[in-house]
Amino acid sequence: MSFTEPPVSPAEALLADGTTVLVRPVAAGDRDAVLDLHERGMSEESRRMRFLGTSRRAPGAVADRLCGPGRAEVLALGAWADGDLVGEADCQATEPGGRSAELAMAVADAWHHRGVGTLLVEHLVHAARKRGIHEFVADTLAGNRAVHKVFSDLGLPVHRHLDHGEIRVRVPLDEDDEGYLRAVEERGRTADLASLAALLRPRSVAVVGASRRAGSVGRTVLLKLRRGGFTGPVWAVNPHTGVIAGEPAYPGIAVLPGAPELAVLAVPAAAVPGAAEECGRAGTKALVVLASGVDAAQTRQLVDSCRRHSMRLVGPNSLGIVQTDPGVRLDAEFGGAFPLPGTAGVAVQSGGVGIALLERLAWLGIGVSTFVSLGDKCDVSGNDMLQWWESDGRTDLALLHLESFGSPRAFARTARRVTRTLPVLTVDAGRSDAGRRGAASHTAAAATPTVTRETLFRLAGITAAHSIAELVGAAALLHAQPLPDGRGRVAVVSNAGGIGILAADACAEAGLELPALPADTVAELRGLLPAGAGTANPVDTTADVDPAVLRACLDALARADTVDALLVCLVPTALVQHDADRPLHALLDGPGRRQLPVAAVLLDQEVPVRYRTCADGGLLPSYTDPAAAARALAHARDRARWLAEPPSAPAAPPAADTVGARGLVDAYLAARPDGGWLDPETTADLLGRYRLPLATAVLARNEDEAAEAARQLGPLGHEGRLAAKAYWPDQVHKSAEGAVRLGIVGETRARECYREFQDRFGDRTAGVVFQPMAAPGLELLVGAVQDEVFGPLVLLGLGGTATDVLGDRSTRFAPLTERDLETMPADLRAAPLLLGRPGAPGVDPAGLRGVLTAVSALACDLPQVVEVDLNPLIARPDGVLCVDARVRVEPRPSFDPYLRRLRGPARAGEAGETGGAGETGGP
């Protein structure tokens, strides 16, 4: 077996201690590096372990094998640190064309116990799977504990057999994927946290570009670091002066009293690459780059320096970072006052958004654990920050503002884990419709950036607000109040009927329910409230209600089994002018944290949301707008629902002919390298290999074939009727172009229809597709689209002419889970039509689940299939049938979610390797 195709791209990744290495194929020009690794990098004992106690594979033989003429038969990857080869792992098929490969690895003694071997094997697993290898085998000595630990920790099944002092190890590569993914994720998390320590808990800081000029960015950051009480040394670097703000300044990083763990670069954009390289050579481990306007070439140089010297990077175009831990007290930003210490983690891409968030959190009195302005996000991302907050022991609330996702699937997996323990909130930025492509299927047109982001947030359990105000309002409730029941049933209480009605409307608009109150609760309220009070929901207590009576009413409502949350609206009235806060006493004098959440609306409040401190020390969020309070309760309801969802297994894939399907796609792309829309016959062949229920179709290329199609298919159609559709290459929207005729009966009408299409479309027409018309049913759309960033997205919605008019759609990322198959139909506004209602049965649930599962599997198996559009899918109680389908293919690389790598393109190889674009974090 030759391992020359497909090529392996370079990728940079973190070791267990946070060091960055470049993983790339070992090339012909690397022979000296391989020899150096085996001869000087490894001790005699290490070589004995590597070669099973013999010299049967001396270093020279290994170098020849990996770098010589026969290297095409070997898949070999090396780990490079600052230009030095520190480890290599390779495999070779045990027999020509076999599915098993022999694995070997070697790591320099100085790099043991840092995760080099495990990282290399992970990347080798990824590459071997793409080449059809299903098993690694290796012969090891029983005493080689390091290698056995690599195998044991890998996360894949390991089978061992002892024979004459050697242990034969077998590692199946296609078993227990979930366990392998968990193991890879945990190793990635450990490495990530190790690398972030120098950034977020540095022991020393240098401000490069600190200036004597008052008001300059560098001077501002320098003074804030010192005045904020940073617990380690702070050094100023400026080659043009010896003193800044009364403290010594140094001409360069190299002459500082020590190597700063963190450097804040406050230099012009053109000076950023050079300053970063100087920091890296001095031993700095993290950079914050404040400069804006850093162009693409300068950014590439900056990132190269960071990767080569194992530095984590925030920015460029960053406002800075803050760590309020009393043991650190790092204030390295130029935005405003040092935030209150607290438990909210904040990460933003926009510095302006960051300033606004910090100000509003200060209004509330919510302190910050960590603040990071990500800027251009060339390295450190929201995913990194979530992992930090998950583990820092201080953060219990995460606020994010992300304008882009470099690795959304990795972000979703991390967020899904983190949101189980703390709320994660974000502002859903950039929701405007960017328009629809005329050449796109209905599925692709529906998969807008807004849809994909919303699907990502839903999958991850993230609370997504539409504005900063909404974000802060939701954070105030989630931070201080318990979660409601997932049904979201609210009792509205007011001391003025008008505001109560507005609050009830706001709850309905937010998707909350105002249930009827139980009879015993109504009776209790009547006994408490004065005549004229309203005891339905909303409850009107009247304007002069006594605080003790109001408190008793709230307690009665809290005991009602139909109420999950309380929304209390209070307005100042002339009856209580002598004590404007009198109605509020009912809330503040009672328990601050009842068993269900309470939100207040105070129309005379000066700020949009703030906390009121209750007698027991609990915090009550109060809002000026009923709509803001209702949206906050709706977000709390959604979080409660998400937390209550049990983990769901992936949906069982269909019995598909994946090999044949790949062959069809490969053959099409071989003939048309740029891709395109499949013709009707190939489309039917491809979808049929996934057992999708397709209507029988015949492509007629002349009148005689049209008549024959009518003769053959007529008896199959509903009431003997056929549908006719003109076809030409790269056709998308047939109905919009008048290329569909329905109700065709008989051979004569089929001939006439064929001539009509010829007259209308002329030479464009490559034929006419005839199909039996299906019996009437509910027209649905099922489709999938490959998003270049987010990966495959599956869509279910109303089909036919309702697709674009009503926009009633439900989306999930593939592969679908069993729960996805249940919730996708239920999410639609048309759910009663699918699920059934009194007097009207729903559609065949097993048939619809089968179609969704098959489309999901196809999208995962074949990333080259960039659009699948089944529309309409006729759904009836007795089955489902697709009467029209479109499929578009493009050349696309496959994505492996198990591969650890840093975001962005990797450096080119140093020796004999041309390099190329590295694999990003992927979808």
Query: Residue 704 sits in a domain of what CATH number?
Result: 3.30.1490.20
Residue 367 lies in a domain: no
Same domain, 630 and 749: no
- Tokens representing 457 are 């947030």
Residue 819 lies in a domain: no
d(C-alpha 168, C-alpha 137), whole Å: 7
Domain range holding 130?
A: 11-175
**String of DSSP letters for 374-394:** -TT-SS--HHHHHHHHHHSSS
**Distance of CA 199 to CAs 12, 203, 223, 313, 371, Å?**
19, 9, 19, 8, 12
Give start and end residues of each alpha helix (H) in 140-216: 145-153, 177-200
Residue 667 lies in a domain: no
Residue 76: the pLDDT is 95
Number of independent structural domains in the chain: 3
Residue 561 lies in a domain: yes
Same domain, 630 and 733: no
DSSP strands (E only) in 266-360? 286-289, 312-314, 320-323, 330-333, 341-348
Same domain, 626 and 716: no
CATH number for the domain that contains residue 154:
3.40.630.30
Q: What is the dihedral of CA 385, 386, 387, 391, to 10 degrees?
A: 100
Same domain, 77 and 149: yes
| CA-atom Rg of the chain in angstroms | 32
Contacts for 907 with CB less than 8 Å, ≥ 6 apart: 10, 12, 22, 304, 307, 308, 915, 918
d(C-alpha 865, C-alpha 666), whole Å: 11
Same domain, 637 and 721: no
Q: Classify 777 as helix, strand or coil.
A: coil
Residues of the chain with pLDDT under 70: 1-6, 52-57, 164, 175-176, 406, 429-448, 573-583, 585-586, 589-594, 801-806, 894-898, 904-923
d(C-alpha 774, C-alpha 765), whole Å: 25
Q: What angle do CA 501, 505, 506 make, to 5 degrees?
A: 115
Of 175, 203, 235, which residue is a domain's last?
175
d(C-alpha 854, C-alpha 868), whole Å: 11
- 244 - beta bridge partners? 247
d(C-alpha 825, C-alpha 873), whole Å: 14
d(C-alpha 891, C-alpha 673), whole Å: 7
**String of DSSP letters for 497-537:** HHHHHHHHHHHHHTT-B-PPPPHHHHHHHHHHSPTT-B-SS
Q: What is the dihedral of CA 439, 445, 449, 454, to 10 degrees?
A: -160
Of 175, 192, 222, which residue is a domain's last?
175
**Interior/surface letters 482-499, b for 16+ CB within 10 angstroms, e for the rest:** ebbbbebbbbbbbbbeeb
Q: Which residue, among 377, 369, 437, has the nearest Cα to 407 in the 3D structure?
A: 377
Same domain, 634 and 701: no
Same domain, 75 and 168: yes
Q: Classify 762 as helix, strand or coil.
A: helix
Residue 802: the pLDDT is 62
- 672's enclosing H/E stretch is none
Residue 691 lies in a domain: no
Residue 52: the pLDDT is 65
d(C-alpha 615, C-alpha 584), whole Å: 12
pTM confidence score:
0.85
Residue 171 lies in a domain: yes
**String of DSSP letters for 800-834:** TTHHHHH--EEEEESSPBHHHHHHHHHHSTTHHHH
How far from the centroid of its chain's Cα atoms is residue 687's Cα?
A: 29
CATH number for the domain that contains residue 576:
3.40.50.261
**Count of CA atoms in the C-beta half-sphere (13 A) of 732:** 13
Residue 384 lies in a domain: no
d(C-alpha 44, C-alpha 42), whole Å: 7
Contacts for 591 with CB less than 8 Å, ≥ 6 apart: 614, 616, 618
Residue 363 lies in a domain: no
Same domain, 702 and 623: no
Same domain, 109 and 25: yes
Same domain, 23 and 92: yes
Contact 441, 867 (CB under 8 A): yes
Residue 550: the pLDDT is 87
Of 148, 175, 202, which residue is a domain's last?
175
Q: What is the dihedral of CA 768, 770, 776, 780, to 10 degrees?
A: -50
What residue type is assigned to position 654 of the chain? P
Residue 674 has φ and ψ, to the nearest 5°, of -85, -5
Neighbours of 564 (CB within 10 A): 25
Contacts for 839 with CB less than 8 Å, ≥ 6 apart: none
Same domain, 35 and 167: yes
Same domain, 625 and 721: no
**Distance of CA 348 to CAs 133, 383, 418, 613, Å?**
43, 12, 18, 29
Q: Which residue, among 245, 264, 255, has the nearest Cα to 313 in the 3D structure?
A: 264
How far from the centroid of its chain's Cα atoms is residue 377's Cα?
A: 15
**Distance of CA 887 to CAs 659, 693, 729, 774, Å?**
18, 15, 12, 21
Residue 614: the pLDDT is 84
Q: 617: phi > 0 → left, psi -120 to 50 → alpha, else beta; which?
A: left
**Count of CA atoms in the C-beta half-sphere (13 A) of 648:** 18
d(C-alpha 29, C-alpha 909), whole Å: 10
